[in-house]
Amino acid sequence: MNDNAVHVRGLRKAYGGNPAVDGLDLTISTGEVFGLLGPNGAGKSTTVEILEGHRTRDAGEVAVLGRDPGRPDRPWRSRIGIVWQNDVAPGELTVRETVRHFARYYPAPRDPDEVIELVGLSEKADARITALSGGQRRRVDVALGVVGRPELLFLDEPTTGFDPAARRQFWDLIRLLARDGTTILLTSHYLDEVEALAGRLAVIARGRVIAEGAPSSLAGRAGKTATVAWTDDEGRHELRTDSPTGTVAALGRRFSGEVPELTVTRPSLEDVYLDLIRGTEGSEERPS
């Protein structure tokens, strides 16, 4: 397990006799950006909370950074970072005061001003948290998650409330952290975000992993039927085919080179994901 930041086998957790996590297996390699997807009630939140050390498990083998998160201590907690789904920053402090305050909890934090710049809040560094927009407060949450220079970073819906430009800036930050060797576990309802950032992902439904792999090949996505479309004098044409390369070659010969408005598409990650979870929605019924 030395090469794995997260190792889970047979994880189980039930609430009131109803299983929320039901024999889940999961492995995340050190330095990997890993996406975790699933519908509401699938067991995703419970799983992540157990990995973070914030919820106990009923059964199963779990190691996070080589330690059992069910018995967390301060040195272990200093090695992980969490971007919570809800605001955690005290509203009466400024952005700079908040990041500096949280940096003191860690043995080797990043420079607070550098972190503020990384999340795009340099111009708001001296503004109070209460004066920020929702998207700006979300950036503060990201800053607090990364200021401790974590080995493993949990990102729970990190770009909720971000505008498109801010989301792309955040993606650059995640890629920078990944290049530095940070292991990242990302949960997001933005499938384009997961596809852009994650090298691998898993889909959870009814407390189990039902599919796992690279975004480009999840559930056989790369081999699924493609749609080849083009335009000629008679209008727009579409052809569903399992051999798009041959179709494009034939069109190239027909048009003696460039095929007008040619597109070749396969099912998107969203298409594959929706097929996988169809009929699996449930409820974890988690206690507070």
- The total domain count for the chain is 1
Question: Is residue 250 assigned to a domain?
Answer: yes
What's the mean pLDDT when you consider all of the chain? 90
Question: Is residue 107 assigned to a domain?
Answer: no
**Per-residue pLDDT reduced to its tens digit, 207-225:** 999 999 999 888 677 667 8
User: How does residue 248 score in pLDDT terms, banded at 50, 70 and 90?
Assistant: very high
Question: Is residue 235 assigned to a domain?
Answer: yes
Question: Is residue 252 assigned to a domain?
Answer: yes
Q: Which residues constitute the domain of residue 249?
A: 225-265
**Per-residue pLDDT reduced to its tens digit, 59-74:** 999 999 999 999 999 9
Question: Is residue 260 assigned to a domain?
Answer: yes
pLDDT of residue 243: 86
Question: Is residue 14 assigned to a domain?
Answer: no
Q: Is it the case that residue 190 has pLDDT exceeding 50?
A: yes
Q: Is it the case that residue 282 has pLDDT exceeding 60?
A: no
* Mean pLDDT confidence for 186-194: 90
User: How does residue 3 score in pLDDT terms, banded at 50, 70 and 90?
Assistant: confident
pLDDT of residue 286: 60
pLDDT of residue 30: 95
Range list of H helices, the chain: 44-52, 74-77, 95-103, 112-118, 134-146, 164-179, 191-197, 244-254, 269-277
Question: Is residue 254 assigned to a domain?
Answer: yes
CB-count exposure of residue 175 (10 Å: 0-12, 13-18, 19+): middle
Q: Is it the case that residue 251 has pLDDT exceeding 80?
A: yes
Question: Is residue 137 assigned to a domain?
Answer: no
Average the pLDDT over each of 51-55, 132-136, 204-208 and give the range with the smallest value: 132-136
Retrieve residue 277's tokens: 């979870």
Q: Check residues 204 and 226 and name the one with the higher pLDDT.
A: 204
Q: Is it the case that residue 288 has pLDDT exceeding 60?
A: no
pLDDT of residue 287: 56
% of residues, the chain, pLDDT over 90: 64
